[in-house]
Structure 1
C-alpha cells in the first residue's frame, strides 16, 4: 500500500495535482451548502472569485519555482542530507510519517508562526486574515509575496528533512486538501471535531485562528497536524458562536474585497491586531 503511494506521487502528473486542488475546493464548496457552520450574508460567488484570484497567483508562483524544490530534494537525497536520512533504517510508512511531520513543522507551522512575529511578514499575511467570511476558498487567499517566502521555507524544510520528491508531492497534496478542509465553512459534530483535532487541524481549531482579535489570532498555526500547537503551547479554543472573522485593524468590507487594495497592504502602514 505505502509502496503504491510512493510510486504514484513519485510520478504524479501536473494534471492530477491540479485535480486535487480544484476537486478539493469543489467538494468542500458543496459541503458548505449542506452543513454550513454560518449562514454568511454575502455574495458567495463574488467572494470566491476574489479569493480565486489569489489562488491563481499562488499557483503561478509555485509552478514557476517548482524546479527549486526539485533541485533541493535531489541534492538532499543524493548527498544523504537531512534528518530522515540520518535516522536508522525504518519501515517505509514510518519513514513517510516522520518526513510528513517534519515538513509540516518547518514548512507550515514554523513559517506561519514567524509570519505573526515579524512585522513585514505579517503585513503580507494580513491579506489572508482580512477575509471576513472564511470558507474553503480562503485557504489559498495569499498575497503573491507571501507565496514566495512560504515556498522558500518549504525548500528549507525539504533540505533539512531530506525528503525525496515523492514525499514532497504527497506533503503538498495533503497540505492543500487539509487547508481547504480546515478553512471550510462546515459544521462537524462538535465531539467529532474535538477528537479529530488531537491528530489533524480541524475547522473549529483553525477558525479560532481567524478570530479577529488577540490572543486567538496568534494561536493554532498548524496546517496538517495539530501536534505542534499542542506541543509548543500555541493551541487555543473558542466557541463557535463567539467567532468573528477578520483582523480588527482591517475590517473594511470594501477594502477586503478590492484586489488592488489588498496587493498594496504590505507596503502601507503597519497594522497589528490588538
Structure 2
C-alpha cells in the first residue's frame, strides 16, 4: 500500500489523467444508460471528441512542465499576488485565496477567447459540438490547448501559487468542467440555489446555445459569481437550448475529426456574431 501511495505521489500528472479518464468513462456509460439514442449513436458522436485526446494530452504534459517551473520559481522568490494578502501564511487563507484568484483568471481567459477574434476561431471548435455530453470536455483544438496552457503560465506567474495549491485548484477545475458538460441537469430549484455560486450543467448548457446572447453567458469556470458580478449570467430553459454554434451547424462538418481541426483556418461568414 505504501509503495502504491508513493507511486501516485511521484506521478501526479499520470494519477490525474487516470482519475479523469475513469470519471469521464463512468459518466459516459451513465449517459448512455439513460439516453434514448443507444450506444451506436452515442459512440459515433463521442468518437470524434475522443480523438482530441491524442492532440491535447502530449501538448498538455509538455507545457505543464513550464507551469511547474514557474510555480517553483514563484514559491522560492515569494512572488505573486498571494503574498500581498493579509494572513496569507494561514493555510485556509492561502488555499482559498489562490483558488478564488485563479478562478477569476480563468473567467478572464474564457471571456478573452470569445471576444478576441483570432482566439475565438480556435475556441469555437469546442462550441461547434452539436450535442453536448461528457465527451465534449475533450473537444479542444490543439492550438487552444497551447493558448490555454500559456495563459495558465501567466496566471501562475501573477498569482504565485505553490505546486500543491495549483494541483488542488486544477483538480477541482477539471472535475467541474467534466460535470458541467454532462447531459444530466439539476432540478430547477436546486440549480437556482447552487448556480448562485457554482457553474452547473444547466448553466453551462446555456453557454453552449448556438446563438448570442447566450453564447456569451456563463463564462465561469468553477464559480459562477463572476458572471453575476460582471453581468454575464444567463438562464435558458432546456427545451429552448440548441447546441452548436450558428456559423457551423453542418453535421457532416462537425462529425469528422479532420474537418473540425481545419475549422479555425477556414473563412466563414458570421452575420449573427458581431463581436
Q: Is the shorter-chain TM-score for this pair beyond 0.5, marking a shared fold?
A: yes
Aligned counterparts of 2:215 and 2:255: Cα–Cα separation in 1 = 21
SS in 2 for 1:249: coil
Residue 21 of structure 2 corresponds to 22
- Maintained 8 Å contact 1:31/1:186: no
Aligned counterparts of 2:95 and 2:132: Cα–Cα separation in 1 = 32
1:10 shift after superposition: 7.6
Structure 1, residues 201-231: CA drift from partner, whole Å, max 9, x if none? 0001000000000000111111111111111
Instruction: Indicate how the Cα distance of structure 1 residues 46 and 34 shifts in structure 2: closer, same or farther if over 3 A, else same.
Output: closer
For residues 50-69 of structure 1, the aligned pairs below 5 Å read 50-69=48-67
- Maintained 8 Å contact 1:11/1:166: no
SS in 2 for 1:65: helix
* Length-normalised TM-score, structure 2: 0.90
1:118 shift after superposition: 0.9
Residue 229 of structure 2 corresponds to 231
* Length-normalised TM-score, structure 1: 0.90
Aligned counterparts of 2:163 and 2:224: Cα–Cα separation in 1 = 24
Instruction: Indicate how the Cα distance of structure 1 residues 238 and 131 shifts in structure 2: closer, same or farther if over 3 A, else same.
Output: same
- Maintained 8 Å contact 1:35/1:186: no
Question: How many residues are matched?
Answer: 265
Residue 213 of structure 2 corresponds to 215
- Maintained 8 Å contact 1:10/1:169: no
Name whichever of 24-33 and 238-247 sits farther off. Answer: 24-33
Instruction: Indicate how the Cα distance of structure 1 residues 183 and 109 shifts in structure 2: closer, same or farther if over 3 A, else same.
Output: same
Structure 1, residues 226-268: CA drift from partner, whole Å, max 9, x if none? 1111111111110111000001110000100111111111111
For residues 27-106 of structure 1, the aligned pairs below 5 Å read 27-33=26-32, 39=36, 43-90=41-88, 91-106=90-105
Residue 144 of structure 1 corresponds to 142
Q: Where does the alignment leave 5 or more consecutive residues of structure 2 unmatched?
A: 1-7
Name whichever of 263-272 and 207-216 sits farther off. Answer: 263-272
1:123 to 121, 124, 128: 121
SS in 2 for 1:217: helix
Q: Which has the higher contact order (CA 8 A, sep 6+)?
A: 1
Instruction: Indicate how the Cα distance of structure 1 residues 40 and 125 shifts in structure 2: closer, same or farther if over 3 A, else same.
Output: farther
What is the root-mean-square deviation of aligned Cα atoms in Å?
2.1
Residue 202 of structure 2 corresponds to 204
Aligned counterparts of 1:40 and 1:123: Cα–Cα separation in 2 = 31
Aligned counterparts of 1:253 and 1:189: Cα–Cα separation in 2 = 30
Instruction: Indicate how the Cα distance of structure 1 residues 188 and 32 shifts in structure 2: closer, same or farther if over 3 A, else same.
Output: farther
1:247 aligns with 2:215: no
